[in-house]
Structure 1
Amino acid sequence: MKTVTEFSRKVVEFPDMGIVMPDGCRLSARVWMPEDAGDDPVPAILEHLPYRKRDGTIFRDQLTHPYFAGHGYASIRVDMRGNGDSEGLMDDEYSEQELQDACDVIAWAASQPWCNGNVGMMGISWGGFNCLQVAAKQPPALKAVISLCSTVDRYADDIHYKGGCLLIENFGWASTMLSYSSRPPDPLLAGDNRWRDLWLTRLENQSFLAPLWLKHQHRDAYWKRGSICEDFSAVKAAVLSIGGWHDGYRNTVSHLASNIEAPVKGIIGPWIHKYPHYAGPKPAIGFLQEALRWWDRWLKGVDTGVESDPAYRAYVMDSVRPARWHPERPGRWVAEQEWPSSNIKTQTVDLIPSTEKPSIVASPQSCGLAGGEYFPFTFGPELPGDQRPDDALSVCFDQSELSQAIDIVGAPEVEVRLSSDRPQANIAIRLCDVHPDGASELISYGVLNLTHRNSHEFPEALVPGETVFARVVLDQCGYRVPPGHHLRVAVSNAYWPAIWPSPEPVRLTLS
């Protein structure tokens, strides 16, 4: 990857620009801007994160923000309240205080003599979440956002619950955030004595977030707040949504492209949980160039052609041998001018059991070990491996060998009739590409707490022995299955370590 360091406008950097909130709390920002911005004001771009700009995201920031500054923007990377070099305390993710702080930073930036009054907001993961939530609050100066690897539904499509099943990431990420927020500010910025006082205050008041998240196991008001799917029309800023097929947040690009009423475009590639200008598996894209086109149009009023871009650009991955890591995924880009697209045709397939006997699903808890990480972070063995070990612990429905290739783009759905011998049960369904030699590659999967079969807000216990209907929606995917291969639908009632087990061993009967 080539790193550009010379630009049309000379860049200056401010490592610790203080932004004081209305309550007196000082937030620390690392800011890059053109040297002459005071004479020739520029738009501002905000990234508002808890991940410590002095060490946590330092290298990523240096690959991104100076580029925008060199092309005529003030790029502002703020440590959220209670993190890094900022004062205060953080008591939860996406709190009202966090979102209000972002709105106040936007208003502050718009009022600076070096800013032309227009502001954009961007981010990946946490920053992708909060820029959408801030956009729904409609701060007047916010004109555009770029949201990467994010969600529109905090309950159904984050690291806490999936299909009403408790995700193990709930605990891992709570521990990660505890470690981030417990670290001290940089003494070089905070001062010899002040840094220690700020650190001790954090240590004495830091909360472990997992118990709070566990108190809200249904889709209640706690999760609805900040879930922009509650009212997509609240987002008035132009939205560019970007995601990756090997990330945990595969569904958001489609949801935003389908529902946002403001100008919106979507791009999804073969990537893990990374910015796509340095992500893997390859091919990467020129994210900085795409972002600059977006900013120039909505923050400077330059006709860059983004409004004529396809509504939805997706990378359709070719079939590959199962492996825990792929440096590159062969495939091709497809572009749809509208989304949902009339070019996508729904195919319905009946799952026929191999015998006339009822299919009994009673998976051991080890089923799921081939699933990989929930959202891979590193360029290493974190992707799903060969699915045959999990297939052997599941009830599988194999389709006929394909005579011609099929492209699967969208969210597969599986409808099942079943009964349970316990009042609570989970179900996991995987869609796999089976090679001629039997190797099984994961295409997509979905899980469902069967007490949530009708509602995530109002669960209903199963009556043992009573047949019920359930629909399991799998994650969005873009995948080509070649001729000579066949599709497999694998059904289990365990998917460890992705989801927490049912409270008792369960037998499901498919009918």
Structure 2
Amino acid sequence: MLNVFSKETASMLTRDGVRLDADIYRPDAEGEFPVLLMRQPYGKAIASTVVYAHPTWYAAQGYIVVIQDVRGRGTSEGEFKLFSHEIEDGFDTVNWAANLPGSNGNVGMYGFSYQGMTQLYAAAAHPPALKAVCPAMIGYDLYTDWAYENGAFCLQANLGWAIQLATETARLSGDEKAYQALFTASRNLPLYDKIPARPEILQNLAPDSFYHEWLDHPQPGEYWEISPKQHLQDVDLPMLHVGGWFDTFLRGTLNLYKEMASRSAFSQHLVIGPWAHLPWGRKVGNVDYGAEANSSIDKLQIRWFDQFLKGIDTGLLNEPSVNLFEMGSNRWRSFETFPSDNHKSYFLQSSGLASLRDDAGKLVRQAKEFIQNSSDVVVHDPWRPVPALGGHATIPAGSFDRSSLDCRTDILTYTSAPLESDLYLAGDVVVEVYAKADTPCFDLFAVLSEVRTDGSVYNFTQGYVRVESNQEAPLKIILQATCARLNKGNCLRLSLSAACFPAYPVNPGTGSHPGETALIAAQIITLTVRSGKDFPSQILLPLV
């Protein structure tokens, strides 16, 4: 490792004359070096050190590291408007970084979340100096991968982030009263205003927040064309894609990887650990996944950039391109491509009491034509909606013991017999159920868990869907992709309910969207789930 000079701060001007500031970390050595660029909105001193090594570590590997405040954030000038300037500003910044003193003209970008998005937006402008990127935990399509999940607004994640950004805006403007109010709200989200999804504090103190626009556009359409997906059709770069099994943006990471892998002339590598959005460590929720789960992304990124920015043969191109952490065995597994077309069915079977007894609802492998028809009825009461517990869409994320939650009578549970051998899963997970409600609109929440021999129940993947056409037909719920080993003797369980609050808003049953739904408008919803020969409700599990 090289010695590193003290941090310096430098500025550049965008094409429209706005000053952007960056911290620069340089190796204390002779010669020219590639540049690693991160563009972020949280204050350049943080430099995403919640998940990555400090920029001095990257500089010590022989790189000039540039951490820039995007327009209107940190000490950079201009007005911050979510993602609106990142294509042009990204292009200008890459060109500026490539021409810094000591640069060899090759630029790579790294970062997660917003910092992952700025990589994609910069790449969309085709700056010639940008040679490789490492986008982690991104929303490839802002509507389907970030703001909404299967038509349901991601309330807790979106509201929490909006208040965080609004609080920082108040700090930058010196508005202490607004800062204090928003900071307090960030620690106890305002979820019970007249319109729960549209709290007054955000309307009053952050009227220009992106959050209001996201609420006002509950369907895909022209508004969402700002998404990276709309701008990357002719972009091709080596990309190292990083995700987490409990990250709320895993859909975006996988969608980008799958598209790039299908058409790219360059190497596309995918790494998914047992992580939430942050941090990337061995313990997520209440489960310790062991030392192998500790992040090795920093070292992997250096290998990536050594390969594509320095021309060093690191051996990466001879290794499998997909590396997935297998929860349960707590080891990494390698694949040539992301597993697909490997689904096997587990069918739902019930005595009609799956909301009351954990032995009433079953998961069976036998053919659906031999399963007797049955109906399970569950009542969703908005006064006491099923609470979120772990998974990918709430805070804290991860795996928790939900055995006491599954005892609620507004949750249907279907459990397999004890496994006769270890069950290995890797890939996409889908639940198809015949469900109907007594209201024009309802939500359906599905959780897959492992029931251990001691009675504890640990979730490993889940999914949520807003149903706006109340016709009894197989409803498809796309769950988070997963990679897991369920141990011999344990059981597989599917839990179904009509809410997961506050990860998603409580569905009022009226068909109105969250931005229009008053707290008083929520209705009691009676939900019926059918299974059997004529109603083959099932889980499509990716067996390997």
Cα offset, 1:58, TM superposition: 7.8
SS of the aligned residue for 1:156 comes to helix
Seen in structure 2, the aligned counterparts of structure 1 residues 43 and 334 have a Cα distance that, compared at 3 Å, is: same
AA at the equivalent of 1:26: R
| Identity level (%) | 27
Q: Report what 1:397 is aligned to.
A: 414
More strand, by proportion? 2
- 2:276–2:397 CA contact under 8 A, matched in 1: no
The answer to whether the 8 Å contact 1:232/1:259 transfers is no
Q: Which amino acid aligns with 2:11?
A: G
- Cα displacement (A) at 1:250: 2.9
Summarize the Cα distance change of 1:22–1:210 in structure 2 as closer, same or farther, 3 Å threshold. same
Aligned: 1:42 with 2:43: no
Query: Shift of residue 220 of structure 1?
Result: 1.6
Structure 1 residue 299 and structure 2 residue 348: aligned?
Answer: no
Whether the 8 Å CA contact 1:79–1:85 is kept in 2: the answer is yes
Task: Give the Cα–Cα distance (whole angstroms) in 1 for the partners of residues 23 and 439 of structure 2.
Answer: 55
Q: 2:333 and 2:524 mapped to 1: Cα distance? A: 44
The 5-angstrom pairing of residues 329-368 of structure 1 reads: 331-340=330-339, 345-355=342-352, 357-365=374-382, 366-368=384-386
Shift of 1:313: 0.5
Q: Tell me the equivalent position of 2:140.
A: 152
Provide the C-alpha distance between the structure 2 equivalents of 1:278 and 1:119, rounded to a whole number of angstroms.
31
The reply to whether residue 23 of structure 1 matches residue 16 of structure 2 is yes
> Equivalents in 1 of 2:149, 2:51: separation in Å?
31
Q: Quick one: structure 1 residues 476 and 368, their matched pair in 2 at CA, closer, same or farther if it must change by over 3 Å?
A: farther
| 1:436 equivalent among 446, 453, 457 | 453
Contact 1:370-1:387 at 8 Å conserved across structures: no
Whichever residue aligns with residue 52 of structure 1, its letter is: G
Structure 2 letter corresponding to 1:211: H
Question: 1:72: Cα distance to partner?
Answer: 1.9
Q: Does 1:176 align with 2:176?
A: no
Give the TM-score of the pair, scaled to structure 2: 0.77
Q: Does 1:118 align with 2:106?
A: yes
Quick one: distance in 2 between partners of 1:430 and 1:224?
31
The alpha-carbon deviation at position 241 of structure 1 amounts to 0.9
Once the two structures are superposed, the pairs formed by residues 390-429 of structure 1 within 5 Å of their partners are 390-391=405-406, 392=408, 393-429=410-446
**Closer/same/farther in 2, CA of residues 248 and 60 from structure 1, 3 Å limit:** closer
Residue in 2 aligned with 1:134?
Answer: 122
Report how far residue 471 of structure 1 moved: 0.7
Distance 1:367 1:308, change over 3 A: farther
CA deviation profile, 1:306-360 (whole Å, cap 9, x unmatched): 1122111011111xxxxxxxxxxx611110123346xx73211111122354212
Amino acid at match of 2:466: N
Contact 1:428 1:445 (8 Å CA) reproduced: yes
How far apart are the structure 2 equivalents of 1:487 and 1:118? 50
| Counterpart amino acid of residue 479 in structure 1 | A
Is 1:269 paired with 2:273? yes
Q: Which runs of 5+ in 2 are unaligned?
A: 175-203, 353-372, 509-522, 531-544
Residue 410 and residue 231 in structure 1: after superposition, are their counterparts in 2 closer, same or farther (change >3 A)? farther
CA distance in 2, matches of 1:57, 1:142: 20
SS in 2 for 1:502: coil
Q: Which of 133, 149, 154 is the matching residue for 1:167?
A: 154
Q: Which residue number in structure 1 is paired with residue 197 of structure 2?
A: none
Determine the structure 2 residue equivalent to 1:197: none
Query: How do 1:184-199 residues align onto structure 2 when only pairs under 5 Å count?
Result: 184=172
Question: Which one-letter code corresponds to 1:272 in the other structure?
Answer: A
Partner Cα separation in structure 2 for residue 338 and residue 226 of structure 1 = 25
Q: Tell me the equivalent position of 2:58.
A: 68
What residue number does 2:219 align with? Answer: 218
Q: C-alpha distance in 2, partners of 1:204/1:250?
A: 31
Instruction: Give me the TM-score of the superposition, normalised by structure 1.
Output: 0.82
Q: How big is the shift at 1:492?
A: 0.8
Which structure 2 residues correspond to residues 364-375 of structure 1 after superposition, within 5 A?
364-365=381-382, 366-372=384-390, 374=392
Q: Which residue of 2 aligns with 1:82?
A: 72
Separation in 1 of the partners of 2:435 and 2:278? 39
Deviation at 1:47, TM superposition (A): 0.4
Q: Distance in 2 between matches of 1:130 and 1:296?
A: 21
Q: Which residue of 2 aligns with 1:388?
A: 403
Shift of 1:417: 1.8
CA contact (8 A) 2:391 2:399 kept: yes
Deviation at 1:240, TM superposition (A): 0.3
Contact 1:50/1:80 (8 A) holds in 2? yes
CA distance in 2, matches of 1:82, 1:107: 20
Is this contact kept in 1: 2:387–2:499, CA < 8 A?
no
Q: Is the 8 A contact 2:120 2:135 kept in 1?
A: yes
Change (3 A) 1:103 1:337: same
Asked whether 1:468 is paired with 2:485, we answer no
> SS where residue 503 of structure 2 aligns?
coil
C-alpha distance after superposition, 1:340-391 (max 9, x if no partner) = 46xx7321111112235421232334454251375678xxx65443222432
**Conserved 8 A contact 1:124-1:274:** no
- Cα 1:385–1:279 shift into 2, 3 Å: closer
Q: Using the TM superposition, give the Cα deviation of residue 500 of structure 1 relative to its aligned residue in structure 2, in angstroms.
A: 0.4
Distance in 2 (CA, whole Å) between partners of 1:112 and 1:75 is 11
Structure 1 equivalent of residue 528 of structure 2: 509
Gaps of at least 5 residues in structure 1 are 1-6, 187-202, 319-329, 452-460
Q: Distance in 1 between matches of 2:495 and 2:206?
A: 46
Q: 1:4 corresponds to which residue?
A: none
Is the counterpart of residue 94 in structure 1 residue 48 in structure 2?
no
Query: Are the structure 2 counterparts of residues 185 and 116 from structure 1 closer, same or farther at C-alpha, using a change threshold of 3 Å?
Result: farther
One-letter amino acid of the counterpart of residue 106, structure 2: N
Would the aligned equivalents of 1:13 and 1:30 in 2 still touch at CA under 8 Å? Answer: no
Tell me if structure 1 keeps the 8 A contact 2:451–2:493: yes
- Does residue 498 of the first structure (1) align with residue 503 of the second (2)? yes
The alignment partner of 1:417 has SS state of strand
Paired letter, 2:96: W
TM-superposed CA distance for 1:398, in Å, is 1.5
Question: Given that residues 140 and 253 in structure 2 are in contact (C-alpha distance below 8 angstroms), is that contact kept between their aligned partners in structure 1?
Answer: no
Deviation at 1:185, TM superposition (A): 8.6
The answer (yes or no) to whether the contact 1:149–1:249 under 8 Å persists in 2 is yes
Change (3 A) 1:138 1:389: farther
Structure 1 Cα separation of the partners of residues 257 and 92 of structure 2: 28
Contact preservation (8 Å) 1:430, 1:490:
yes
Structure 1 Cα separation of the partners of residues 389 and 232 of structure 2? 32
Cα offset for 1:68? Answer: 2.1
Deviation sequence 1:81-118 (CA, Å, 0-9, x none): 11111111102x222x1231111100111223421111
For the aligned residue pairs, the C-alpha RMSD in angstroms reads 2.7
Mapped to 2, the partners of 1:118 and 1:57 lie a distance apart of 21
Deviation at 1:491, TM superposition (A): 1.1
Secondary structure, aligned partner of 2:462: strand
